[in-house]
Structure 1
Amino acid sequence: MGDHRTEFLKASWVNVITNVLKIVVEGGLGLAFGSLALVADAAHSVADLLASAVVLVWGRLSFEGPDKNHPHGHERVEPLTALFVGGTLVLLGLKLLSDAWQSILSTPESDYSIYLVVALGFAFVDRYFCYWYTKRVNRTVQSPGLSALVADSKNDLYTTAAAVVGVVGMAGGFPILDPLAGGLVSLLVIHQGIEVSRENVDYLIDSAAPEHIREELKDTIRSHGDVHGVHDFTAYYAGTVYEVEFHAEVSANHTFIEAHDIETDLRDALMAREEVGDVHIHLDPGGLGEWKEADEKRVSSSVN
C-alpha cells in the first residue's frame, strides 16, 4: 500500500506539472495570435490542472486505512474525485462550445504563425508523455482517480489534433476552421466528462457487481466442502471495491469452533480477490427451512 501511495503521488504530480506547462505554452501563443482552437485546448488543460490537483489532494486519502470516523476506510474518496473531474469537464466543454458558436457567428480574427505549430507540437509531446506515464503507473495502482486522468490525457491528444485543423485553416486562408475546430474540441471534452462521471457514479451509489463477478464469488463459496448452499447473496460497490454479504448453509452438527473455522475459510477465500473489500457472512444450520439451494439441488438430483 505504501508503494502504491508513492507511485500515485508521482503520477499525480506529473499530471499537475505537464498541465501547467501546456497551459503556459499553448495558451500564451493562442492568445497572442488569436487562435480560438489553441485557446480552447489550453482552457481544457486548465480544467485538467484543476482535476489533477483535486486527485492529488483528495485521492491520496484513499490510501489511508480505517479509522474511528471511517471504519470502512476511505475507498469512496477516489471515485468522488473522479466524479468531480468528469463534472468539471462537462461544464468546461459547454462553455467552450458556446464560445466557438459565438465566434462562428461573428467574423473570426486570427493570424497564422509558425509558433502556433510549435505550440501544438509541444502540446502533443506533453500530453502523450503524461498519458503514457500515468497509464503505466496505474497498471499497478489501479486508482479510479488516475484512471480518470489517463482518460483525460488521452482525450487531450484528440483535442490537440482538432486544434491542428484550426491552425491549418488559418495557414490556408480559411479562418472559419479555427472556431469549428474549437467547437469539435468542446464536444470531445463534454463526451469524456460524461463517460468519466457515469463510471464513477456507479461506485458511489453502491451499484451491484456485474453478473459474472457475482457468479464467480458464489462459486468460490460453494467450493467449500462444508457449504451446502448459498442464499440472500449480494455483492455491491463500496467505493471501488466490492462488499459481499450472504448466508451460507452448513450442517447443524458442526461445533461452534468448526463453524467459526468455516466462516474464516470463506472470508479468507473471498478476501483473497483484490476487488473484494469486505465480507459479511451468516451461517445457517440445517433444520431452519432456509436451505433453498440445497433443497433445489436434492430435487434436481432425484429427477435425474
Structure 2
Amino acid sequence: MGDHRKEFLKASWANVLTNVLKIVVEGGVGLTFGSLALVADAAHSVADLLASAVVLVWGRLSFEGPDTNHPHGHDRVEPLTALFVGGTLVLLGLKLLYDAGQTILSAPESTYSIALVAGLAFAFCDRAFCYWYTKRVNRNVESAGLAALAADSKNDLYTTGAAVIGVAGMAGGFPVLDPLAGGLVSLLVIHQGVEISRENVNYLVDTAAPKPVRDDIRDEILSHEDVHGLHDFTAYHAGTVYEVEFHAEVAADHTFIEAHDIETELRNDLVSRDDVGDVHIHLDPEGLGEWKDAEERHGSSPIN
C-alpha cells in the first residue's frame, strides 16, 4: 500500500464531514416536510457516517508495520473495516425497506416544498464531491476501506436520484411515490452492502489469487536465471495483498552463500510488487527428484 497515511486520513475525514453535512441538511428538510425518501436517504448517511468513522479509526492500523502481537503486520485490518461498512449497509437497508412498506400500507402524509428540491440538490453535490475526492486519493493509497467508502458515495448518488422520484410524486399529487422511492433506496443500499461484504470476505478467508495473478508471479519466479523448475506454488490473499509460497529448483552445486543470495533475490523481487506482502521460499537442489512426481514441473502445482 505504501506510506500514504496523510492522504488516507484526509480522505477519511472528508467522508466523515460530508456525511455530517448531508445528514443535517437533507434529514432536516425531510423531517420538516414529511418526506420518507429524503429521511431514508439521510438515514443511509447515518450508516455512512458510522462506516467512515470506523474506517478512520481502524483503517489507520493498516499503516502500522509488524509488531510483537502482529508479526505479519496489519494488512487484514483494511478488509475488516470494509466488511463492517458492508454489513452496516445491509442492516440499514433492511430497516429502511420495512419502514417504506409500513408507510405504503398506511396513508402517506407529506407536503411538497421547493426546499425538498434544494435539499436533494445539496445531497447530490455533497456525495458527488466525496466520491470524486475519495476515488482520486485512493488511486495512490489503494485502500480497501477507502474503496468501500468511494463505492458507497457513488451508491448515494443513485439513492438520491431515487429520492427525486418521491419528491416528484409529491409535487404531482402522488404522495405514495415518496415511500416507494424510499423502498427503492433501501434495495440499492442492501445491494451495495452485499457486494462490499462479499469482496472483503474473500480477503479475510485467504482465497487464492486470481489465475492471471498467479501466472504472472509464477512467470516472474521462473524468469530468474538460476531457477530451473517450480512446484508446490501457491499465492493467496493475506488481507488485501498476496502471500506467496513455493519450492524453487536450483543447481545442486551452488554454495550455501550462493543459494542464500538466490533466495534473497527471489524474495526481494516479489515483495517489491505492490500486490505481494510476504514470500516463503524453499530451495530444492537438482538431483533429489522430489518434484518428479508433480503433475507439471514448470507450471502450477495441484495446490492451485
**TM-score in same-fold range (> 0.5):** yes
Counterpart in the other structure of 1:157: 157
1:115-156 residue CA offsets vs partner (Å, 9 max, x unmatched) = 001100100110001000000000000000000000000000
What letter is aligned with 2:22?
K
In 2, the alpha carbon distance for the partners of 1:114 and 1:59 equals: 40
Residues 231, 294 of structure 2: 8 Å contact kept: no
Asked if 1:265 corresponds to 2:265, the answer is yes
Q: Structure 1 CA distance, aligned partners of 2:138 and 2:2? A: 15
| SS class of match (1:274) | coil
Over 3 Å off, 4+ runs: 291-298
How many residues of Structure 1 are paired with residues of Structure 2 in the alignment?
A: 298
User: Does structure 1 conserve the Cα–Cα contact (< 8 Å) formed by 2:291 and 2:297?
Assistant: no
Match of 2:25 in 1: 25
More helix by share: 1
Task: Using the TM superposition, give the Cα deviation of residue 288 of structure 1 relative to its aligned residue in structure 2, in angstroms.
Answer: 1.7
Amino acid at match of 2:200: N
Cross-structure match for 1:146 = 146
SS at match of 2:248: strand
TM-score of the aligned structures, taking structure 2 as reference length: 0.95
Instruction: Find the aligned partners of 1:241 and 1:292 in 2 and give their Cα distance.
Output: 31
Match of 1:282 in 2: 282
- Counterpart of 2:117? 117
Partner of 1:35: 35
Q: Which amino acid is 1:57 matched to?
A: V
Give the AA of the match of 1:6.
Answer: K
Judge conservation of contact 1:231–1:292 (CA < 8 Å) in 2. no
Q: Distance in 1 between matches of 2:220 and 2:158?
A: 43
Q: Which residue of 1 aligns with 2:175?
A: 175
Unaligned runs of 5+ in 1: 299-304
Q: Partner amino acid for 1:59? A: G
Whether the 8 Å CA contact 1:233–1:246 is kept in 2: the answer is: yes
Match of 2:45? 45
- Counterparts of 2:22 and 2:225, CA distance in 1: 59
Q: Say if 1:230 and 1:293, in contact at 8 Å, map to a contact too.
A: no
- For 1:289 and 1:2, the matched residues in 2 are separated by 41
For normalisation by structure 1, the TM-score amounts to 0.95
Residue deviations 1:166-207, cap 9 Å, x none?
Answer: 000000000010000000000000000000000000010001
Distance 1:174 1:180 in 2: 11
Q: CA deviation at 1:212?
A: 0.6
Give the equivalent residue in structure 2 for 1:15.
15
Q: Classify 1:209/1:3 alpha carbon distance in 2 versus 1 (closer, same or farther; 3 Å).
A: closer
Q: CA RMSD in A?
A: 1.5
Matches within 5 A, 1:1-304: 4-292=4-292
In structure 1, give the amino acid aligned to 2:178: D
Identity of aligned residues (%): 81
